[in-house]
Amino acid sequence: MNDTSNPNSSEQPGRRVLDSLRSAMNEGAQQARAAAEKAIPKVKAAVSGATYWLGFGTSFAAVFSYTLARELAPEVLKAGCRDGASAGKRTAQEWASECKAQPAAPATGSSAGTDSSGPTLEPGMA
């Protein structure tokens, strides 16, 4: 017969279950750690290889396309591309210089165009 009056008799089976559960979790964690330590070099090698081939493919595609277009394009198209690239570079440099030269405008409490009740003042007017 089971004696239910003894408090230790009910704790023993529960304690064994928790101990075996903890032991199983620790063993699983150790196995996972060992598997991860074996996998990390393989993952690093795969990422390194993928990075190399990404760079190779991108460079190849860019240079191949440029060289093929340069060899097959008529001279008038080449001249137009050179002039367009030069004009675009010059315009971008001028615009960037203007942006750098302008000081930041101070923030005002109201946005422009929202208050039409009074006259608007231009900068420099008092």
pLDDT digits (tens, 9 = 90+) for 92-101: 999 999 999 8
Distance CA(40)–CA(104), nearest Å, equals 50
Greater pLDDT, 43 or 102: 43
pTM comes to 0.39
pLDDT score of 13: 65
**78-105 as b/e, with b when 16 or more CB fall inside 10 Å?**
eeeeeeeeeeeeeeeeeeeeeeeeeeee
**pLDDT for the residue 126:** 47
How high is the pLDDT of residue 54? 96
What is the pLDDT, as a whole number, of residue 21? 86
More confident of the two residues 108 and 77: 77
Q: Domain ranges in the chain?
A: 10-73
